[in-house]
A and B are shown apart, each in its own frame.
Chain A
């Protein structure tokens, strides 16, 4: 079953 990564894996905290 494909996994759904969080958007926070891609965008860092400003």
Chain B
């Protein structure tokens, strides 16, 4: 039997909003320690990995490892019925389940809703994500990053990210013209979510498709800050922490000049 009870249903709502426009169907791997979701967009350009450890749950029981093939649109419809402060319980049999139950309990306990969603067969390959030493880590406000990606999308379909010791520059150009946004490394980190910290081993200069970055920033409500990890020749990692009990990581390869 797999059963997981989340005190804050709003978190699951935000997680679905973070992945459903990028990955239609995803494999939710549940084991004794955590729920892990990994999926790619339909064109296999980007990858998202979500991890939510058992400690995030009020109650977590997973007698045998079970993989739930979830259609994220169906799951999102159910979660649209949930309030942020509802308790959400996920339940599934652990012998090749063909469905998953979701129970929503209102905070005052007067309303209980239960849904059964059919699981989908997904035969995507699970990819191994190698541990990588990155040349640069940029930690910044998630809202700021979302705003930069949105604003620069008006100038071009790609953003060039250049990191130096002092700052990180986002540039885009197209027929509208050229736009540069430069964030200076904050000297003092007083308010974490408003500062920009650049941890640089060596300078990087990479170009990424804004269409995907704007899909990644759907996770902005999950965390006040976002961390970008960059290396020449390696996919960009855009990471949003889920409190202390997990993360959502998006991976996107840099564009290469023909």
A interface residues (Cβ-Cβ under 8 A, vs B): 1-14
Contacts and interface: CB of A to CB of B under 8 A. Distances in A.
A10 B235 contact: yes
Contacts of A9: 253
A14 B251 contact: no
Nearest to B250: A7
A5 B47 CA distance: 12
Contacts of B40: 7-8
B43 to A, nearest CB: 8
A11 B130 contact: yes
B256 A5 contact: yes
A6 B40 CA distance: 10
B253 A5 contact: yes
Given A2-B158, A5-B45, A8-B44, 16 more contacts: A2-B207, A2-B257, A3-B256, A4-B253, A5-B254, A6-B43, A6-B45, A7-B40, A7-B46, A7-B252, A8-B40, A10-B235, A11-B127, A13-B125, A13-B127, A14-B126
Contacts of B253: 4-7, 9-10
A3 B254 CA distance: 9
Interface of A is mostly: loop
A14 B257 contact: no
Q: What is the interface residue range for chain B against chain A? A: 20 to 34
Contact of A7 (B126, B130, B251, B257): B251
A14 B44 contact: no
Given A10-B234, A10-B235, A11-B130, A4 B209 contact: yes
A13 B255 CA distance: 22
Interface in B183-220: 207, 209
A7 B43 CA distance: 10
A4 B255 contact: yes
Contacts of B257: 2-3
Interface in B242-258: 251-258
B124 to A, nearest CB: 10
Contacts of A7: 40, 44-47, 127, 235, 251-253
Interface string B127-171: 111100000000000000000000000000010000000000000
B238 to A, nearest CB: 13
A6 B48 CA distance: 13
Contacts of B256: 2-3, 5
Contacts of A12: 127-128
Nearest to A2: B255
